[in-house]
Every structure is written in C-alpha cells, then in structure tokens.
C-alpha cells in the first residue's frame, strides 16, 4: 500500500516589514559597536591584535582573560595582583568595565557573530533578519491579490510614465477596491510599480 505524502503548502512572500527590519538592524548594529569598542580598548592596552581564537576567549571570559594572561607574567607570583601590576608598571583595571560589558553583550547577541577578530553582521545574519520580518500571503484572497498585483505591476511598468501621469494606478475596481492598495511606487524612473504587501495583507477572506 502506497502512502501519498502531500507537500506542505508554502505561503508566498509578499515583502517585508521594513520598519521592523530597520529597527532590529539598528539595535544589532548598536550592540556590535559597543562590543567592538571594548575589544579595541584591549588591543590598545596590549598593543596587539589577538588571533580569532584568543578573541573568542576574550568574549567568553571578559576581564578574567586579562588577569589570566598577566598572571603568567607576574614577577612575584606569590604577591597580590596589585603588587605585581605596580611592579610591572601597568594598571589593567581600566579594561574591567569595557571587557565585561563586551562579553555580556556578546552572550545575548543575535543576528551578528565573531567574523575574524571583530564582531559583525554578516550577509547571512542580514538575510535572517529579513526572514524574520517576511510578510506572507496567508489566505486565498491574499494569494490571488498578490498574483493580480504582480501581473498589474508588469503591465503598468511597461507604460509607467503614462500610468503615473494619468493616475491609472489610483483607479477603482468595481467601485470598491482602489488599485493603489495592491501596488506601491518604488521609483517611477527605476523599479516602478511593485505589489504592496501592506495593502494585500489587509485583505481578508
């Protein structure tokens, strides 16, 4: 006996919630800058740029990494940290707050990662952000409207200057729906008309 496995219907993506994308990218970007600022202070203090593996350890341990690194160089291993730091003529305590802050921020970081020796939003991270804010056509009416809007966009874009000049894109359908609800103008001179995810999303069955 054969069992037929139905493929799961995938709702078509109409567009993205760009407000959500912009807000999240701004938040991630701010966090990335704060993390890298702490890492820069480490590099300036030691006058070196660590390897990627060392950077991972710094982001895992924060200021504890500095203490471990310096303790191996203490001239008086049995004396206190402060006594040794004074003997070495250094004061690493200025790194405590920025490095612990960087480590804490990195632990809760999403949509960015350590890329080499710096934390960055990679192309993959940006794609994930866009995926999070996808606007999909969930109902039959929305799917039909999306197909209609795609066909209408192609037609209008062939004659976009005439369409825009005469205002055809603001015409009504059977006196009820305004065509403009299904389309939006990106740029008359370039992309022209594209389906409006916001307008289509408001349609219900």
User: Mean of the pLDDT values across residues 41-57?
Assistant: 95
Residues 34, 109, single domain; the answer is yes
Between 190 and 50, the more confident residue is 50
Residues 192, 123, single domain; the answer is no
Residues 142, 105, single domain; the answer is no
- Would you give the end-to-end CA distance of the chain in angstroms? 38
pTM listed for this prediction? 0.73
At 12, which helix (H) or strand (E)? none
Domain count, the chain: 2
Beta strand 118-120 pairing with 113-115 = antiparallel
Confidence (pLDDT) at 174: 39
Range of the domain at 48: 13-132
Among 132, 161, 184, residue at a domain's last position? 132
Residues 102, 162, single domain; the answer is no
Confidence (pLDDT) at 10: 64
Among 132, 167, 188, residue at a domain's last position? 132
**Which structure tokens are listed for 23?**
């807000």
Residues 55, 74, single domain; the answer is yes
């Amino acid at each position: 006996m054969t069992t037929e496995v139905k493929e799961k219907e995938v709702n078509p993506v109409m567009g993205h919630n760009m407000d959500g994308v912009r807000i999240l990218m701004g938040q991630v970007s701010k966090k990335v800058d704060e993390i890298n600022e702490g890492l820069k202070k480490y590099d300036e203090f030691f006058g070196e740029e660590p390897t990627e593996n060392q950077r991972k350890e710094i982001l895992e341990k924060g200021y504890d990494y500095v203490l471990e690194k310096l303790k191996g160089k203490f001239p008086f291993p049995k004396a206190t940290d402060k006594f040794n730091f004074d003997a070495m003529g250094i004061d690493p305590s200025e790194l405590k707050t920025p490095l612990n802050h960087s480590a804490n921020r990195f632990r809760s970081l999403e949509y960015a990662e350590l890329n080499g020796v710096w934390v960055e939003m990679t192309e993959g991270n940006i794609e994930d952000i866009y995926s999070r804010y996808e606007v999909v056509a969930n109902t039959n009416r929305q799917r039909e409207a999306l197909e209609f809007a795609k066909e209408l966009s192609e037609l209008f874009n062939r004659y976009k200057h005439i369409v825009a000049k005469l205002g055809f894109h603001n015409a009504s359908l059977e006196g009820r729906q305004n065509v403009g609800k299904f389309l939006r103008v990106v740029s008359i001179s370039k992309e022209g008309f594209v389906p409006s995810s916001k307008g289509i999303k408001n349609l219900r069955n």
